[in-house]
Amino acid sequence: AALPMGWDSFAGPQPLEAVTSKAILDRLGLGSRPYILFVGTIEPRKNLSALLDAMRSLRTRLGGGVPLLVVAGGYGWRAAATRRRLEQEVRAGH
């Protein structure tokens, strides 16, 4: 499901109803769990590897109290290493 930028604060299409938003989050496996959202092309200049390092460090220090990291975006140039790392994180349940 796509949400236009600023869907909850700008004029235009009405915001999604809470039930619909919850259904989308449930379908994506997020439910009511807190999460951090990264949106952007997955490529080295976005420094996603630093964000993944930070999330790993937080999980080491805080355990299960760390929000999930949700990454949304297409793969750009030179993204192979980051793609492999994201796949490893997913396999590890992160």
Q: Is the pLDDT of residue 21 over 90?
A: no
Q: Is the pLDDT of residue 11 over 90?
A: no
Question: What is the residue-averaged pLDDT of the chain?
Answer: 84
pLDDT of residue 25: 86
Band of pLDDT at residue 14, cut at 50, 70 and 90: low
Instruction: Give the tens place of pLDDT for each residue, 34-93.
Output: 899 999 999 999 999 999 999 999 999 998 889 999 999 999 999 999 999 999 999 988
Concatenate the DSSP letters of all residues of the chain into one string.
Answer: ----TTTTTSSSSPPPPHHHHHHHHHHTT-TT--EEEEES-BSGGG-HHHHHHHHHHHHHHHGGGSPEEEEE--B-TT-HHHHHHHHHHHHTT-
pLDDT of residue 94: 84
